[in-house]
Amino acid sequence: IQASRAAQKNDELRNLSLSGHVGFDSLPDQLVNKSTSQGFCFNILCVGETGIGKSTLMDTLFNTKFESDPATHNEPGVRLKARSYELQESNVRLKLTIVDTVGFGDQINKDDSYKPIVEYIDTQFEAYLQEELKIKRSLFNYHDSRIHACLYFIAPTGHSLKSLDLVTMKKLDSKVNIIPIIAKADTIAKNELHKFKSKIMSELVSNGVQIYQFPTDEETVAEINATMSVHLPFAVVGSTEEVKIGNKMAKARQYPWGVVQVENENHCDFVKLREMLIRVNMEDLREQTHTRHYELYRRCKLEEMGFKDTDPDSKPFSLQETYEAKRNEFLGELQKKEEEMRQMFVMRVKEKEAELKEAEKDLHEKFDHLKRTHQEEKKKVDDKKKDLDEEVNNFQKKKTAAQLLQSQAQQAGSQQTKKDKDKKK
Ligand code: GTP
Ligand code: MG
């Protein structure tokens, strides 16, 4: 190790020849064996209108019958449904997850149709990130649910892309490998299909939608990928029905006027899709998901959480420093909040005090007013009493005078009768 470090320091690596077999040439085989025993996982997202042929195409692609129940056209919104299967081909095991967009394109208002899809993809990234951030993580046997390929089913209208298609693809293109396909391609005439394809591609370009680019950097696949790219978006036909063609059975769709063979390259691009998606680029799709899309999600998420690799002076910034910085920021905020609350409290108390004082003043005024009216009333009553007393006095005086007069009159009367009696005598 020291020798190699020294060599690297001097910026030169010496080429040595081995004089006998060592064995590290078996490393690729070791890798293959390990991966094979571990098994693989691949997750496909099918985005497309209800009844556009998603389930049929999946069955046709993997030569099997996956469980699926047709959706109705009256779903209140778009929802995603994932189903996982374990498949085996020779000694290779594949854990396949197919995610379906149920109710896509069925609502009158389609503004939010892309949201559940974006949310689903982000949720799978988040789950992986959480596993990565754990202290005790088990990424080795983690069931990776991140979407590796998104098959976008375009309706075979022969016109152009719908705005729902453009909006959805634009929202998804930084999160997932999009492979656009024209569904039910048996319904478009050959020369129209050619125009339709180039129309779609130019619309994708002019709207800045990034679809999955088949890799051309590795020489074993460069040629096939380059030639296949020309045929995008693949015009596919799905069918699980076997029809006798010549003396062989082949998957096909039978019409009153003829037969469309799914695996005949003159009839449709089904084989091209299968080659590109499964046989040639499955591993690249998995890798791109991890190194490009997941990496982007992870970076944004960690930056959002306040992590950074360097400080403003572009010096390395460790996790510890990030933690301390966040902690200080949090404490500062807490203090600010506390101070705000205290000031608010003081203000409230002052307000209440002023209110109470006002109320007291009012009460005093009311009391004074009452006192005054009471005094006035009392004075009036007193005056009346005085008047009445006077009246009573006057009355008494008059009464005694009258009584006096009456008794004098009686006396005078009795004296007269006495005189009269005496006279008679
Ligand atoms: P939901 O899951 O209900 O949204 O539908 P889906 O998108 O899974 O469509 P499905 O595969 O159930 O197909 C719906 C109908 O379209 C069926 O009658 C299929 O036979 C038919 N179909 C599927 N693929 C093709 C195709 O390539 N061409 C034509 N003409 N019809 C197709
Ligand atoms: Mg279906």
Cα-to-centroid distance, 53 and ligand 1 (Å): 3
DSSP 122-141: HHHHHHHHHHHHSSS---TT
pTM equals 0.75
Of all protein residues, the one whose alpha carbon is nearest to atom 21 of ligand 1 is 53
283 phi and psi, to 5 degrees?
-70, -40
Looking at residue 9, its pLDDT comes to 59
Distance 149 CA to ligand 2 centre (A): 17
Mutate to test the pocket of ligand 1, among 46, 56, 104, 257 (most ligand atoms within 8 A of CB): 56
Q: Residue 264: its pLDDT value, please? A: 87
What confidence tens digit (pLDDT) does each residue in 113-147 have? 899 999 999 999 999 999 988 888 888 888 899 99
Ligand nearest to the CA of 53: 1
Interval between CA 211 and ligand 1 midpoint (Å): 24
Contacts of residue 196, Cβ cutoff 8 Å, sequence gap at least 6: 156, 157, 158, 159, 182, 188
Extended beta strands in 70-159, E state: 79-89, 92-102, 149-154
Using CA atoms, how far apart are residues 150 and 168, in angstroms rounded to an integer?
11
Q: Which residues in the chain show pLDDT less than 70? A: 1-11, 425
What is the predicted pLDDT for the residue at 55? 94
In the prediction, which pLDDT does 137 show? 87
**Nearest Cα to 53, choosing from 304, 235, 227, 320?**
235
How much distance in Å is there from the Cα of 199 to the middle of ligand 2?
27
What does the pLDDT look like over 12-60, one tens digit per residue? 889 999 999 999 999 999 999 998 988 899 999 999 999 999 999 999 9
Gap from CA of 59 to ligand 1 centroid (Å): 11
Cα of 216 vs centre of ligand 1, distance in Å, is: 33
- If you take atom 10 of ligand 1, which residue's CA is the nearest one? 53
Q: Give the pLDDT confidence score for residue 239 in this predicted structure.
A: 92
pLDDT for position 358: 96
Q: For atom 30 of ligand 1, which residue has the closest CA?
A: 184
Pocket (CB within 6 angstroms of ligand 1): 48, 50-56, 68, 70-71, 100, 184, 186-187, 237-238, 253
